[in-house]
């Protein structure tokens, strides 16, 4: 896979190699005609990370190449001339990943269709499932800016704006995902649950759609409090809705930090599988096992992007750690905090980058 350089642009080549059944490695070669970015790179070698699909290996090679390009350019990456060149190769890289996935039959979800409700902008469900080979045939998101970002990131076949006006009886898919609005369940919200006066209609139509859309599997994600709100009454409404629609229902609370993400973020997951699917009668769907946290915020900070807060903007109340810790480490608060309500708000707390993010 090759992106030739136009003029003094950036050249990036990804070389992939198959070692055997479901064993792929890939490495990048990069450079430009300008002396600021001399040609450098790696051939696939014995120490290369082995992936189960060609797409994963190619994406690793692209990420490595882009990282090395930014690292070698250093401060130059912020200049208008080089920023334009970097953006051009980033655009090519995003398209290259999508094209590789589209034709990669080694991906475990190749040929699987997805409908993504309340998709958001980043597209957590859409991006994750697409990275495994699935195609998002329909996504629904009411915020126009979020729709724009989602369409750029995921490239769904179709996009709808208002969940409340969507007719689910006209749609079918293999996997239906729903990011159930969490504001009415989260500790940062007003705790009204499904009866929330602002979001009540959205909740009703969300439950209508999981009943109407013909899907083999439904995955619902929300704040962890969904499963315990009002003594579990709201979660029981969701469960009964899915059971009446012909699904077997299971749920679990999972933390992102247990899956290699540098963030402590607990979320509730409800997985409903259509009755008749070939699943174990006792275990049913088996949720993934969480591991001890392996990443911290420091691992994902880009060296060329400013990420610190001016000293006069915060007040430290704890010693800043110098060694990695697999937990949230609150070290201070923003000085703009005026009331106890704000004191309890997550957005005003400062955490060390040597631990997890919130």
**297 within 8 A of 356, measured Cβ to Cβ:** yes
pLDDT at residue 262 tops 80? yes
**19 within 8 A of 25, measured Cβ to Cβ:** yes
Instruction: Tell whether the torsion through CA atoms of 293, 294, 297 and 302 is positive or negative.
Output: negative
Asked, for residue 142, whether it belongs to a domain, the answer is: no
Instruction: Decide: residue 61, CB within 10 A, 0-12 exposed, 13-18 middle, 19+ buried.
Output: buried
Same domain as 269, residue 310: no
Same domain as 97, residue 26: yes
Neighbours of 234 (CB within 10 A): 23
**141 within 8 A of 119, measured Cβ to Cβ:** yes
Same domain as 303, residue 268: no
Asked, for residue 286, whether it belongs to a domain, the answer is: no
Which one of 72, 102, 132 terminates a domain? 102
Which CATH number do you get for residue 247?
A: 3.40.50.150
Asked, for residue 283, whether it belongs to a domain, the answer is: no
In Å, how far are 24, 164, 180, 275 from 118, measured between CA atoms?
34, 11, 7, 25
CA distance 213 to 241: 13
Given pLDDT bands bounded at 50, 70 and 90, which one contains residue 69?
very high
Which residue, chain included where needed, has tokens 């329909």?
138
Provide the number of structural domains found in the chain.
3
Same domain as 270, residue 167: yes
Asked, for residue 121, whether it belongs to a domain, the answer is: no
Same domain as 318, residue 261: no
Task: Provide the percentage of residues in the chain whose pLDDT is more than 90.
Answer: 63
Which one of 77, 102, 127 terminates a domain? 102
- Find the angle CA(113)-CA(119)-CA(122) to the nearest 5 degrees: 105
Asked, for residue 153, whether it belongs to a domain, the answer is: no
What domain range includes position 76?
2-102
Tokens of 336: 């703009």
Same domain as 21, residue 67: yes
Instruction: Give the 3-state DSSP-derived string for the chain, with helices as H, strands as E and coil as C.
Output: CEECCCCCCEEEEEEEEEEECCEEEEEEEEEECCCCCCCEECCCCCCCCCECCHHHHHHHHHHHHHHHHHHHHHHHHHCHHHHHHHHHHHHHHHHHHHHHHHCCCCCCCCCCEEEEECCCCCCHHHHHHHHCCCEEEEEECCCHHHHHHHHHHCCCCCEECCHHHCCHHHCEEEEEEEECCCCCCCCCCCCCHHHCCCCHHHHHHHHHHHHHCEEEEEEEEEEHHHHCHHHHHHHHHHHHHHHHCCEEEEEEEEEHHHHCCCECCEEEEEEEEECCCCCCCCCCCCCCCCCCCCCCHHHHCCCCCCCCCCHHHEEECCCCCCCCCCCECEEEEECCCCCHHHHCCHHHEEECCCCEEC
| CB environment 286-314: b (16+ within 10 A), e (fewer) | eeeeeeebebbbeeeeeeeeeeeeeeeeb
Asked, for residue 114, whether it belongs to a domain, the answer is: no
Same domain as 337, residue 303: yes
Most confident of 16-25, 100-109, 303-312: 16-25
pLDDT at residue 194 tops 70? yes
In Å, how far are 124, 159, 164 from 149, measured between CA atoms?
12, 12, 21
CA distance 179 to 24: 33
**269 within 8 A of 252, measured Cβ to Cβ:** yes
pLDDT at residue 28 tops 90? yes
Which one of 55, 73, 102 terminates a domain? 102
Instruction: Decide: residue 319, CB within 10 A, 0-12 exposed, 13-18 middle, 19+ buried.
Output: exposed
Same domain as 302, residue 267: no
Minimum mean pLDDT among 51-60, 220-229, 333-342: which range? 333-342
Given pLDDT bands bounded at 50, 70 and 90, which one contains residue 344?
low
Same domain as 303, residue 263: no
pLDDT mean across residues, the chain: 89
Given pLDDT bands bounded at 50, 70 and 90, which one contains residue 201?
very high
pLDDT at residue 336 tops 70? no
CA distance 237 to 233: 6
Asked, for residue 152, whether it belongs to a domain, the answer is: no
Global pTM value = 0.84
Asked, for residue 118, whether it belongs to a domain, the answer is: no
Give the pLDDT mean for 118-140.
Answer: 92
Same domain as 236, residue 304: no
Same domain as 258, residue 187: yes
Same domain as 308, residue 262: no
Most confident of 235-249, 267-281, 312-326, 340-354: 235-249
């Amino acid at each position: 896979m090759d992106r030739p350089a136009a003029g003094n642009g950036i050249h990036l080549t990804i070389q992939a190699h198959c070692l055997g059944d479901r064993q792929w490695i890939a490495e990048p070669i990069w450079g430009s005609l300008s002396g600021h970015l001399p040609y450098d790179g790696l051939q696939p070698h014995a120490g290369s990370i082995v992936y189960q699909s060609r797409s994963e290996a190619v994406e690793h090679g692209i990420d490595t190449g882009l990282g090395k390009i930014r690292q070698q350019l250093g401060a130059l990456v912020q200049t208008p001339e080089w920023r334009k060149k970097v953006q051009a190769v980033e655009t090519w890289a995003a398209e290259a990943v999508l094209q590789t996935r589209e034709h990669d039959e080694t991906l475990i979800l190749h040929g699987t269709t997805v409908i993504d409700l309340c998709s958001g902008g980043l597209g957590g469900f859409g991006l994750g499932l697409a990275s495994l080979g699935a195609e998002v045939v329909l996504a629904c998101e009411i915020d126009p800016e979020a729709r724009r970002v989602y369409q750029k990131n995921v490239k769904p076949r179709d996009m709808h704006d208002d969940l409340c006006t969507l007719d689910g009886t006209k749609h079918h898919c293999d996997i239906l995902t729903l990011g159930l609005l969490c504001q009415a369940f989260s500790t940062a919200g007003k705790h009204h649950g499904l009866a929330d006066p602002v979001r009540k209609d959205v909740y009703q139509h969300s439950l209508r759609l999981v009943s109407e859309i013909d899907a083999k599997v439904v995955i619902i994600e929300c704040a962890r409090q969904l499963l315990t709100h009002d003594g579990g009454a709201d979660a029981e409404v969701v469960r009964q809705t899915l059971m009446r629609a012909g699904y077997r229902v299971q749920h679990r609370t999972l933390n992102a930090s247990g899956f290699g993400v540098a963030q402590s973020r607990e979320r509730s997951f409800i997985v409903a599988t259509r009755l008749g699917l070939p699943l174990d009668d006792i275990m049913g769907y088996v949720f993934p096992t969480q591991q001890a946290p392996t990443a911290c915020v420091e691992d994902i900070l880009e060296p060329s992007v400013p990420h610190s807060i001016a000293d006069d903007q915060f007040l430290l109340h704890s010693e800043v750690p110098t060694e990695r810790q697999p937990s949230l480490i609150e070290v201070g608060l923003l000085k703009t905090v005026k009331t106890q309500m704000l004191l309890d708000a997550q957005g005003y707390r400062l955490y060390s980058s040597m631990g997890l993010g919130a």
